[in-house]
Homo-oligomer: A and B are copies of this chain.
Amino acid sequence: MRDRHLGKMPRGGTTTARYEEDPDNAWNCCSWCEYLLIVILSTILLVGVLILTLFWVMFYRGGFAWTERPLQQFNLHPILMVAGFVTLSGFSILIYRLCRCVKHIYVKLIHMFFHAVAIPCIALGFLSVFDSHNALQKVNFYSLHSWLGFVTMGMFLLQFVIGFFTFLVMLCCENKTYSCRSAMVPIHASLGLANFWLAIATSVTGIIEKERETAKDPNLSAENQLIEHYITSAIGLTLVVIGIIVTFAVRRTNAPASAKVYVTERI
């Protein structure tokens, strides 16, 4: 994700020749503080938004169930989608920023692992809303939220498949696939970030749709509605703050490459 390869690659060279040194760009106090701040803040927010959604669903939307109670089955949808598209994907993106001293192939594998764990969450989240809508005889793929969600899921799957083949399978022929992998890095990174923001946009639209739906519920007291409104607004705001922090965290520096980074490993 971060641009370490800033010179030309010595094609066909030995492994030890594949790095560049630049002691000027070593870690200073400022970058350590920023690193720590991002680690702490992003962990709090990524876990916090999941806990907040769980709290909202458990205490204000009646908890969970599977097929026997469709309304409660629907409640799995926000939890699983936030877990898959925001918490797991957010950590997966931040891994490139957080694991600075780990060998790059391990960073890639952890990145893939987090996204792979997100897949069953997303699939179950999709199934829960689909089943619940069918049981309640609601129309599927009608609202803007559902269409945005469809685009988000499609892009996520595309990114996963392309990323898996380009950055892991293609490593079996490291030298020959260098230029292809190199060209794919910025595309995969920028579309990944776009997909993350798309997931956030989809989540906030979903929250607003649900909030407007519950606002019509005559069984809810005005006080409870107000508290629920504050909880859902807090979830929405946390989501966009996460988006801003992740975008900021994975920005690429203008400075030259840092010390001893293996060029081919980085892509």
Contact = CB atoms under 8 A, between A and B. Distances in A.
Interface residues of A, number: 53
A208 B251 CA distance: 31
Contacts of A251: 186-187, 189-190
Given A233-B144, A248-B191, A252-B252, A151 B197 contact: no
A145 B233 CA distance: 9
Given A244-B194, A252-B252, A256-B8, A237 B148 contact: yes
A256 to B, nearest CB: 6
B243 A144 contact: no
Nearest to A266: B254
A190 B247 contact: yes
A194 B201 CA distance: 12
A68 to B, nearest CB: 29
Main secondary structure of the interface of A (DSSP, over half): helix
Interface string A108-147: 0000000000000000000000000000000000111101
Nearest to A255: B182
A7 to B, nearest CB: 7
A194 B193 CA distance: 10
B247 A191 contact: yes
Contacts of A182: 254-255
A43 interface: no
Nearest to A187: B251
Interface of A: 3, 5-8, 24, 142-145, 147-148, 151, 155, 182-183, 185-187, 189-191, 193-194, 197-198, 200-201, 204-205, 207-209, 211-212, 229, 232-233, 236-237, 240, 243-244, 247-248, 250-256, 267
28 contacts: A3-B3, A6-B7, A6-B256, A8-B24, A8-B256, A142-B229, A143-B233, A144-B232, A144-B233, A144-B236, A148-B236, A148-B237, A151-B240, A183-B254, A185-B254, A186-B251, A186-B253, A187-B251, A189-B251, A194-B197, A194-B247, A194-B248, A197-B201, A200-B201, A201-B201, A201-B243, A209-B212, A252-B252
